[in-house]
Amino acid sequence: MRHVIGFNSDWLFHTKWTDVLKDSLKEAEIVNLPHNVKEVDLHYFDEDSSWFVSGYQRVLNWDKSFENKRILIHFEAAMSAAEIFVNGKSFGEHKGGYTPFTHDITDALKKDSDNLISVKLDSTERKDIPPFGANIDYLCYGGIYREVQIIVASDISIEKSMLTGLSDAKVCGKIIIRNSEKKKDVKENINIKIYDGSNVIHEHKEDIVLSGQCFEEKDISFNVKENIKLWDIDNPNLYKVEVSLSNKDSISHNIGFRTAVFNGEGFFLNGNKINLCGLNRHQSYPFVGYAMPSRVQKRDADILKNDMALNLVRTSHYPQSRHFLDRCDEIGLLVIEEIPGWEHIGNKNWQDVSVNDVKDMVERDYHHPSIIMWGTRINESADNHDFYTRTNTMAKSLDNTRATGGTRCNLNSELIEDVYVMNDFNHDGKLDPMRSQRAITGLDKLVPYMITEYNGHMFPTKMNDCEERQMEHTLRHYRIIDAVAKSDEVAGATGWCAFDYHTHYNFGSGDRFCYHGVADIFRNLKFAGTAYASQIDNKTKVYLEPISIFARGERNVGGVIPLVISTNCDYVDIYHGGKLLKREYPQSNRFMGLRYPPIVFEVFDDRLIGAQDWNVWDDIKLVGFIDGKVAIERQFVKNPLFSNLEVIADDDCLNAVKNGSAWDATRITIKAVDQCGNRLPYINLAVSIDIDGPAEIIGDTVFSLEGGLYSFWVKTINSIEEASNIKIRVKTKKFEEKIVNIRISK
Ligand code: GAL
């Protein structure tokens, strides 16, 4: 039996590392994981301020369950280099802030005593570690920003289960065994059970004869006899795999049965062609950088799949949280995952770390059915035959079930991987939405091909930018997803990007932000997000969002024409002052690739909602029809008033911090709305918040709305009480205090 102990609460955090910390416990601030070494301001922070060498310390009390066991410490990620000491003994430095590492600390532990675990964490942008070495358009922050566990295991234990399912009901991959005492010629049984819910539907046994290595591998391949349901994006059927040894050591994880293939004709999941339509995700958040717990990571997957109707996400530019990937498995969101890097390729040692990143990424994530391709290049780097042969070979040697790719931006690049992956920023509003495949590859034949970025820096747009800019932002996204969908040459595309993100001073808008998202950093959708969101099946959700705030003088010259409507309705009627002005249909001729093209009102016969007539600016009603029936109505008033402040929490219950668990958090969004509930983008109201109960606010407690919106996260903290509820008070001068209650579960 193994016992996994959460090791996330009550770390001592020293902002400055000194060697004394290796073996003596010193007083410092108490922190819980996930943790960022420095809170970063929302705008105009000094990015250098989080680049330092810090120390974390935590006492591990000897427990009688440790007797005759191996004690492992597992870090899910620490940015960017971490040296672990146990009672002063070093376990070496792990380089790289995105991949996990484990140390067997048994021999350094003192029995019946307290044991000191110290972490020397170097969060500087070290030139010997990818992605560092040159400029990077994103921030990596610093900290032990994912979880840590203590694993109490037998001397022979399962290090990793790399198993995946294919659509012919085959389970394949390998099991890696940790042979702590390097036993030789000992036979061990591996037992693999596949569960459908709580029923075991298949059992498979293998023997392995240990050869005296610290890590031993057993290849696995068998077919499940029972009928299985395939995993796909609409029905993400998952099965539990439980792997155990005769000494009862056991681990479990989910798998899904599916086959993912890229070929010259596109992308096929279980033989069915899917037009890949997605966005890139950075894993950064306001104030805490990367340090967000499971619930918040999972929520991003839900936002991408359910709110934005995407079928794919690219985890630009690094392996992301296991919680995020687990959720992608659960909801059927496909993933392209890639190694850390941005344009720069370092020297031989740097490249060795990068090749090792491929190994760690594939080993950690092999089992996820959602992952359809490994990115084995440094994003947008130059060709490098030897290096990319190494990264590609590493991925292929570990996984022959998935394609490899890797993003470049140069033409005529050498194709080493399975898929030629390109960032195509051709569209500048006028030029074609995408280039032809042959123009990019320079090859005389079509190859498996995919676009991983478009838009982004070509048209940065903020939540509260003027309406015309936001309309163009939206249309650029529409034009490109349409062109990609129509093309037989490309399997699909992921646009740049889902969420605004923090960056270095020499990128973005100077305030350390790239406003490239179709949503802001709080994950609130901008108008451009509606181009994606409106593609949701209209039987699942009826969608109608005009790209307008219906003000007479917001646009140049005035008026709201052309009026673009993101909708999945069959047609839309527009009423002005109660009078039907016009019925309009989707622009199917122009956007033939889209399931739900936008509806565009170009002109109105009586020009009533153009700029011309001062006196007739009136209320607007939009009515969307599906199958001849009214499906949705939206109202917009001629004279919006600041009528309410909506305060919405994503969750009504959070988990208490207990038994070493990580903290939990949820997002609360404040929205200024008019008499119809429409957001008022030019409200910059000052708001203050406070909180009662075992929780705290992440970031500022006094702020002003941005674009009529603001979100903040509330996190659980240590509490001596078993559980108690939290009350968040939102105060403004204009409205009575708003209160949000959140339960804390025991
Ligand atoms: C790409 C790059 C991204 C981001 C984007 C902005 O070249 O790969 O990381 O910087 O540009 O549009």
Q: How many domains are there within the chain?
A: 5
Q: Do residues 318 and 255 share a domain? A: no
137 inside domain: yes
Pocket residue to mutate for ligand 1, from 140, 314, 344, 457, most atoms within 8 A of Cβ: 457
Q: For residue 310, report the distance from its CA to the centre of ligand 1, in Å.
A: 20
Mean pLDDT of the chain: 96
pLDDT in tens, 545-600: 999 999 989 999 888 889 999 999 999 999 988 989 899 999 999 999 999 999 99
Residue 722 has pLDDT above 70, yes or no: no
Structural domain harbouring 88 = 3-153
228 inside domain: yes
pLDDT value, residue 256: 98
| Alpha-carbon radius of gyration of the chain | 27
Residue 661 DSSP SS3: coil
pLDDT value, residue 718: 85
Distances (CA, A) of 230 to 165, 310, 366, 538, 603: 9, 20, 17, 24, 49
pLDDT in tens, 275-318: 999 999 999 999 999 999 999 999 999 999 999 999 999 999 99
Q: Are 265 and 253 in contact (CB under 8 A)?
A: no
pLDDT value, residue 611: 57
Please report which confidence band the pLDDT of residue 1 belongs to, taking 50, 70 and 90 as the band edges: confident
Select from 619, 636, 653 the last residue of a domain.
Answer: 636
pLDDT (average), residues 328-334: 98
417 inside domain: yes
Q: What ligand 1 atom has the least distance to the C-alpha of 407?
A: 8
Q: Do residues 710 and 631 share a domain? A: no
Q: For residue 309, report the distance from its CA to the centre of ligand 1, in Å.
A: 23
pLDDT value, residue 557: 85
125 inside domain: yes
Please report which confidence band the pLDDT of residue 50 belongs to, taking 50, 70 and 90 as the band edges: confident
Q: What ligand 1 atom has the least distance to the C-alpha of 316?
A: 9
Phi-psi map region of 609: left, alpha, beta (phi>0 left; psi -120 to 50 alpha)? alpha
pLDDT in tens, 447-480: 999 999 999 999 999 999 999 999 999 999 999 9
539 inside domain: no
Q: Do residues 574 and 696 share a domain? A: no
724 inside domain: yes
Q: Do residues 395 and 522 share a domain? A: yes
pLDDT value, residue 536: 98
d(CA 539, CA 197): 28
Least confident of 521-530, 549-558, 688-697: 549-558
333 inside domain: yes
Pocket residue to mutate for ligand 1, from 316, 459, 496, most atoms within 8 A of Cβ: 496
Q: Are 13 and 120 in contact (CB under 8 A)?
A: no
Number of H helices, E strands in the chain: 7, 47
Q: Do residues 95 and 226 share a domain? A: no
Residue 15 has pLDDT above 90, yes or no: yes
Q: Are 247 and 156 in contact (CB under 8 A)?
A: yes
For ligand 1, atom 9, name the residue with the nearest CA.
Answer: 137
Can you give the length of the chain in residues? 746
Asked whether the bond before 562 is cis by omega within 30 degrees of 0, the reply is yes
Q: Which two tokens stand for residue 514?
A: 């790239």
Q: What ligand 1 atom has the least distance to the C-alpha of 457?
A: 12
Residues annotated as catalytic (active site), given as ranges: 380, 453
How buried is residue 746: exposed, middle or buried, by Cβ count under 10 Å (0-12/13-18/19+)? exposed
Q: For residue 472, report the distance from its CA to the centre of ligand 1, in Å.
A: 19
Percent of the chain clearing pLDDT 70 (strictly above)? 98
Q: Do residues 38 and 183 share a domain? A: no
pLDDT value, residue 606: 53
Q: What ligand 1 atom has the least distance to the C-alpha of 503?
A: 10
Q: For residue 456, report the distance from its CA to the centre of ligand 1, in Å.
A: 7
Q: For residue 327, report the distance from its CA to the centre of ligand 1, in Å.
A: 26
Q: Do residues 443 and 346 share a domain? A: yes
For ligand 1, atom 10, name the residue with the nearest CA.
Answer: 137
pLDDT in tens, 613-638: 666 789 999 999 999 999 999 999 99
Q: Are 252 and 241 in contact (CB under 8 A)?
A: yes
pLDDT value, residue 607: 56
Phi-psi map region of 392: left, alpha, beta (phi>0 left; psi -120 to 50 alpha)? alpha
Select from 593, 619, 636 the last residue of a domain.
Answer: 636
CATH of the domain at 737: 2.60.40.10
Q: Which two tokens stand for residue 223?
A: 């077919």
CATH of the domain at 136: 2.60.120.260
Q: What ligand 1 atom has the least distance to the C-alpha of 452?
A: 8
Select from 212, 232, 260 the last residue of a domain.
Answer: 260
- Could you say which DSSP state residue 306 is in? I
pLDDT (average), residues 722-741: 92
DSSP string, 509-565: TSSSEE---SB-TT--B-TTHHHHHTTS-TTT---EEES----TTSSSSSS--SEEE
pLDDT value, residue 610: 62
Residues with a CB atom less than 6 Å from ligand 1: 137, 379-380, 423, 453, 456-457, 496, 516
Residue 436 has pLDDT above 80, yes or no: yes
721 inside domain: yes
Q: Do residues 445 and 349 share a domain? A: yes
pLDDT in tens, 119-140: 999 999 999 999 999 999 999 9
Q: For residue 139, report the distance from its CA to the centre of ligand 1, in Å.
A: 13
Q: Do residues 115 and 33 share a domain? A: yes
Contacts of 60 (CB under 8 A, 6+ apart): 7, 109, 114, 115, 116, 117, 150
pLDDT value, residue 612: 60
Q: Do residues 617 and 700 share a domain? A: no
Q: Do residues 38 and 94 share a domain? A: yes
Q: Do residues 396 and 497 share a domain? A: yes
pLDDT (average), residues 149-160: 97
H/E element holding 176?
strand 170-179
Q: For residue 452, report the distance from its CA to the centre of ligand 1, in Å.
A: 10
pLDDT value, residue 724: 82
Q: For residue 399, report the distance from its CA to the centre of ligand 1, in Å.
A: 28
